[in-house]
Amino acid sequence: MKLYCYPNCGTCKKAVKWLDEQGIKYEYIHIVENPPTKEEILDFMDKSGLPPRRFFNTSGKKYRELNMKDKIKDMTKEEMAEQLAQEGMLIKRPIATDGERVTVGFKEDAYAETWS
């Protein structure tokens, strides 16, 4: 499992704590230093079944700075993936994947259902 996180993110810390408590092994990837590529993000979008805009950290400073609220309405899925790949702080985190399944953000019940 790969876990894309940002070290100062409280939600990421909760996900890490939950995975550690369950004894689930994962590779921790710093989402800003090593953001997923456009191709990986497109793959995550497909496998998650979520709408592409769910991959944006809408409460983040970078989202507001780049005025993404207005831009995202007219963006294609590919354009969204390109934007996310260029700016790790735009990505909603954590993203967890085992290559087949993908979760975005952390909700304990969703993690229990997907990763237990």
* Segments making up each domain of the chain, as ranges: 2-115
Average pLDDT over residues 102-115: 96
Share of the chain above pLDDT 90, in %: 99
Q: Which residues of 75-96 are buried (b: 16+ CB within 10 A; e: fewer)?
A: beeeebbebbbebbbbbbbbbb
Q: Model confidence over 11-68: pLDDT tens digits?
A: 999 999 999 999 999 999 999 999 999 999 999 999 999 999 999 999 999 999 999 9
Tell me if the pTM is above 0.85. yes
Q: Which residues contact 69 (CB under 8 A, 6 or more apart)?
A: 58, 63
Q: Which CATH number fits domain 2-115: 3.40.30.10, 3.40.50.720, 3.40.605.10, 3.40.1440.10?
A: 3.40.30.10
User: 79: pLDDT confidence band, cut at 50, 70 and 90?
Assistant: very high
pLDDT at 51: 95
